[in-house]
Amino acid sequence: MDNFWHVITLLFSDAGAELRYIIGVTLTMSLFSTTISTLIGMPLGILIGSREFRLKKPLMRVTHALMSLPPVVAGLIVYLILSRNGPLGAFHLIYSLQAMVIAQVLLISPIVCGLSTSIASIRAPQMLETTRGFGMKRSKEIWLLLYESRSQLISVLMLAFGRSIAEVGAVQIVGGNIAGKTRVMTTAIMLETNKGNFQYAITLGVVLLLLALVVNLASAGLQEK
């Protein structure tokens, strides 16, 4: 309880400017990476799960394999691409917020795609029989499937956000944990723990837990509606 009130006091004091900035960078990174990953992975997953085609099973195997991609490997891949000698080095994106978002999209998109595929594979067969009986267009079928599966897809969305906000390995590699630029809550916790500054690390941990709680409550509220 003391830590909770310490966090509240620190957030609204002059000494909490750094903490507020870290929270802002963390939320910006997580929101962008979750949104982009959802826009890529969810429609693709719904499309794969609701259709039968020759390469469906191999594509699903590849997606499931990418779902377990280690974060440090994803970070290394993005680092090699964005570093000065990499193919996209001319854009100078390494050690930036954009680089961290790219690394997280690489990690989260397969997860969103794989889970959306599983949801669509269960919901699509019965629903598509009805829609085809009405002569509905394929684009409308997809939108209807998204609507009918909204509760499960909200859970996928919240899982993606939780995965993003808790990530440390990939963002440490491509972001560099630079103070005032790319330092997020997870990398700051790791840094402060290594420095022996446990009080500040605990403060960051409490804030991270509070953010996770707010997200979960929002998810539960949306699902109930």
- Element spanning 155, H or E: helix 150-165
pLDDT in tens, 169-220: 899 999 999 988 999 999 999 998 999 888 888 888 888 888 888 887 877 7
The mean-pLDDT minimum among 64-73, 80-89, 98-107, 209-218 falls in 209-218
Q: How far is CA 205 from the centre of its chain?
A: 19
Name all domains of the chain by residue range, CATH numbers in brackets: 2-224 (1.10.3720.10)
pLDDT for position 28: 94
Provide the percentage of residues in the chain whose pLDDT is more than 90: 40
Residue 57 CA neighbour count, 13 Å, CB half = 1
Instruction: State the burial class of residue 14 (Cβ atoms within 10 Å of its Cβ: 0-12, 13-18, 19+).
Output: exposed
Summarised one tens digit per residue, pLDDT across range 122-159 is 877 777 767 666 666 766 777 777 777 888 888 898 88
Cα separation of 181 and 110, whole Å? 28
Higher pLDDT, 128 or 96: 96
Flag whether pLDDT at 57 surpasses 90.
Answer: no
Has residue 120 got a pLDDT over 90? Answer: no
Q: What pLDDT does residue 31 have?
A: 92
Tell me which range, 59-63, 77-81, 137-141, 197-201, is most confidently predicted by mean pLDDT: 77-81
Q: How confident is the model at residue 93 (pLDDT cuts 50, 70, 90)?
A: very high
Tokens of 50: 């609701």
